[in-house]
Amino acid sequence: MLKYGGLITVWLLLIYLAFMPNWSCKKTDTVNNDTQQIDTSDLDTSQNTLGLLFEYYVLNKPTQITLAIDSTGNNITPTYADYEINLKKETFFNGPLEILANGTKYVGTWQTNGDYSRLTLNISGLKPFELFNRTWRFTYKSIDLLKISPVTNPGETVLHLSKI
């Protein structure tokens, strides 16, 4: 009889444990004060990373033209040798464009599409700026170099912009 008493005790213990109240630990909410808040209000979550990368590589970084090829295949880099180009951030998708040419600052606008693959520039003031006034596509982006070519006839005109 003692033999069955121990077995009954084990079964009762297992039944009790199966139906006992939930004693799980509750996780308390923590506030992380170690991170810096960035204004990404004009981005949805899928574009957040792309927007931050675009800001890091392109926006507010003065560049100079290190290679300019026109639609006829001529190297016109010397025309732009002293130009400093800067895309200022208004939002992640547009803002002012500043070009410092021969000591004079010219202001225009820039705009990009949702996936940051295209860049539309608009600036007036000098005849050489006509080259800029179009929609470009990025063919290469790195920390030190941006390569762009026009969306229409991409093989014709090429610009390389190096960070200063």
How far is it, in rounded angstroms, from Cα 65 to Cα 80? Answer: 6
Print pLDDT tens along the chain (164 aa).
556 666 677 767 667 666 666 555 555 555 555 554 555 555 555 567 888 888 888 899 899 999 999 888 899 999 998 899 999 999 989 999 999 998 899 999 999 998 889 999 999 888 888 888 999 999 988 889 999 999 987 677 899 999 98
What is the radius of gyration, based on Cα positions, of the chain? 30
At residue 103, the 3 state secondary structure works out as coil
Taking the complete model, does pTM exceed 0.85, yes or no?
Answer: no
How far is it, in rounded angstroms, from Cα 87 to Cα 95? Answer: 7
How far is it, in rounded angstroms, from Cα 126 to Cα 123? Answer: 9
At residue 65, the 3 state secondary structure works out as strand
Domains annotated on the chain, with CATH: 59-163 (2.40.128.280)
Q: At residue 18, what are phi and psi to the nearest 5 degrees?
A: -70, -35
Encoded tokens for 83? 């130009």
